[in-house]
Structure 1
Amino acid sequence: MDWKLELVFVPVSDVDRAKDFYVNKVGFNADFDERPMDGIRFVQLTPRGSACSICIGEGLTDAPPGSAPNLQIVVSDIHAAHDHLKNNGVDVSDVDVQAWGHFVYFADPDGNKWAVQYIPGRES
């Protein structure tokens, strides 16, 4: 039996601002944005090519905004990822070259921290 991680909750203070950031600046796909009942808004966003999505919304978690643990995305071209983020107005770090990968770092408007990693020698 496979156990697949498919959804990670990311606590935010302003759903519309966060959705705009992830879709228009980072480049995630907006898969779902619904209010299934009073007090609940469920927004699912997925990085291109990923089997795992993030969820933001209202009434979904008691976690304070900005408290998501460090989240990580793996890409096949760290320089293209860096340029994409920077060109879209994301405050992104320079490329950090480590023995186990090349990284760039950014945070969403609430301070949820992200690492983007390129793993040398790994096929995409």
Structure 2
Amino acid sequence: MSAGEAPNPVAPVRPGAMLLELVILPVADIDRAKAFYRDRVGFTADVDVAPADIEAVRAGLVARGVDVAPVVDRGGVLYAGFSDPDGNTWMLQHMPWRA
């Protein structure tokens, strides 16, 4: 750690430790659910973002030279996929009702 750098408040992860890092839960009221899990249960809210406009995100990637498949609607959930130069695939997902 360099001078003036704050210490990391998160404990290091032991090799071989199993972590539960992302759980998707259907909820009726996002603010109520966040307050319950964060304030009452004591979970840490590491990331909190609003869903992005998938068409705008896709257009931005295409403008930067990424070959992104067209957006497809699969039962109300929108997807668009692409691959990196090594063949790793990524899938953009947008659930419009969560915006």
Q: With the length of structure 1 as denominator, give the TM-score of the two structures.
A: 0.40
Please identify the structure whose Cα radius of gyration is greater.
2
As a proportion of its length, which structure holds more strand?
Answer: 1
**Highest RCO, 1 vs 2 (Cα 8 Å, sep ≥ 6):** 1
Richer in helix (by share): 2
